Amino acid sequence: SVFEHVHNLDLTFHLDRNTGAVSRILDRGNRSISFLLNAMVFNIVPTTLEVGVVTGLMAWQFGAGHAMVVLGTIGAYTGFTVGITQWR
C-alpha cells in the first residue's frame, strides 16, 4: 500500500522534501491578488471617478479650459509625487 511505501522510504527522502512549497506559492499569489483588488476597489477606482466628476463639472460650469487646468494640475501633482518617491 502507499502508506507502507512512504514509511519504508529512507529518512533523507522525508527530510529533503519541500512539501509546503506549492501551498506557500498559492498563498502568496492569493495575497497578491487580494492586495491588488483592494487597491483597485478602494483607491484607484474612487480616485478616477472623482477626477472624472470634478473635471466634468468644471467643463460644464466653466468650459473646457478650466477642466484642462484641473487635469494639468492633477497630472503635475502625480508626476511630482512619483518622481520624488522614485528619487528618494
The whole-angstrom separation of Cα 19 and Cα 48 is 43
The whole-angstrom separation of Cα 59 and Cα 49 is 15
Report the pLDDT value the prediction gives residue 7, as an integer from 0 to 100: 87
> What pTM does this model have?
0.61
Q: Give me the mean pLDDT over the 81-85 stretch.
A: 95
pLDDT digits (tens, 9 = 90+) for 7-29: 888 888 878 777 777 788 889 99
Question: Cα separations (Å) of 68 from 23, 51, 57?
Answer: 50, 12, 12
Band of pLDDT at residue 64, cut at 50, 70 and 90: very high
Lowest-confidence region among 1-5, 66-70, 72-76: 1-5
